[in-house]
Amino acid sequence: MKQTRPENRTVPGGERLFHRIYTRLGCRGRPPRFVVEYHPYTDLTHTIRLREDTAYVRLSDVMQHAPTTVVEAAAAILLGRLYRRRPPADIMELYRDFSYAEQTRRRLRALRQLRARRMDHHPAGAHFNLEAMFERLNQSYFDNSLTRPRLGWSKRSWSSQLGCFDPALRQIVMNRQLDRDGVPEYVVAYVLYHEMLHVKHPMRFGRCRRQSHSPEFRKEEKRFVEFDRAMKFLERFPVR
Ligand SMILES: [Zn+2]
């Protein structure tokens, strides 16, 4: 699906709002000029960059639906980071409530579904076929209870993770570095098994890199028969 890019991304009243918060936080000196725009981030990322006397702010699109107080809170967080000022606790709390609200989470999911480009999906790698492996694991460990998500190898090698389940897109992508000679099959199977546990226990706030693992998850993970061997191999694997 193609990304839609509205022409004008300026946040109405954004410059004034940032000025106001700049003053409220007690930042010293002459405030920069603020250029405040919405940016099609697919999560609650906001960024600020200071270039000479202009601060370029990008607020996640999701903020378009946020009340002014929440935009102010985001401004306080960004400015606090830039000028080393701690935003007041009530502001932080307001922002936290917004970011955890079910409605916000729903909007984020919808945005990501809309924007995610479909993965070129090649479950059959050079060495390992993820579909066949999924079916085997599903039978051995899940009583065939999991519905198969899209499966594929990443287009590029990743430097920080082995695999990733994205619940919004219902897809598992595996680091293509694992699809090569010298990587034992049980290692690939373990990584896929781990991602399948995320399919089984979808996290409300789950996003590849931010997934956390409960003690129950960790316990279930150890049911994988070659868990110890796989961990041992991965200790020396140049990823992570
Ligand atoms: Zn995980």
In the chain the domains, ranked by start, together with CATH numbers, are 14-115 (3.30.2010), 130-235 (3.30.2010.10)
pLDDT of 204 higher than 80? no
The pocket of ion ligand 1, defined by CB under 5 A, consists of: 211
* Span from the CA of 198 to the centroid of ligand 1 (angstroms): 7
* Span from the CA of 58 to the centroid of ligand 1 (angstroms): 29
* Span from the CA of 164 to the centroid of ligand 1 (angstroms): 7
* Confidence label for 239 from pLDDT (cuts 50, 70 and 90): low
Average the pLDDT over 149-155 and give the result: 90
Q: What is the pLDDT of residues 49-94, one digit of tens each?
A: 999 999 999 999 889 889 999 999 999 999 999 999 999 999 999 9
* Span from the CA of 189 to the centroid of ligand 1 (angstroms): 14
pLDDT of residue 110: 80
Instruction: Extract the tokens encoding 134.
Output: 């999924």
Q: Which helix (H) or strand (E) holds 166?
A: strand 163-166
Whole-angstrom distance, CA of residue 14 vs CA of residue 34: 8
Average the pLDDT over 148-170 and give the result: 86
* Span from the CA of 147 to the centroid of ligand 1 (angstroms): 18
* Confidence label for 193 from pLDDT (cuts 50, 70 and 90): very high
* Span from the CA of 199 to the centroid of ligand 1 (angstroms): 10
pLDDT of residue 168: 73
**DSSP symbol at 143:** T
pLDDT of residue 5: 44
Instruction: Extract the tokens encoding 215.
Output: 């003690």
* Span from the CA of 42 to the centroid of ligand 1 (angstroms): 20
pLDDT of residue 2: 33
* Span from the CA of 211 to the centroid of ligand 1 (angstroms): 6
* Confidence label for 187 from pLDDT (cuts 50, 70 and 90): very high
Phi then psi for residue 71, to 5 deg, are: -65, -40
* Span from the CA of 124 to the centroid of ligand 1 (angstroms): 22
* Span from the CA of 192 to the centroid of ligand 1 (angstroms): 10
* Span from the CA of 114 to the centroid of ligand 1 (angstroms): 24
* Span from the CA of 24 to the centroid of ligand 1 (angstroms): 40
Nearest partner of 152 among 172, 167, 135, judged by Cα: 172
* Span from the CA of 209 to the centroid of ligand 1 (angstroms): 8
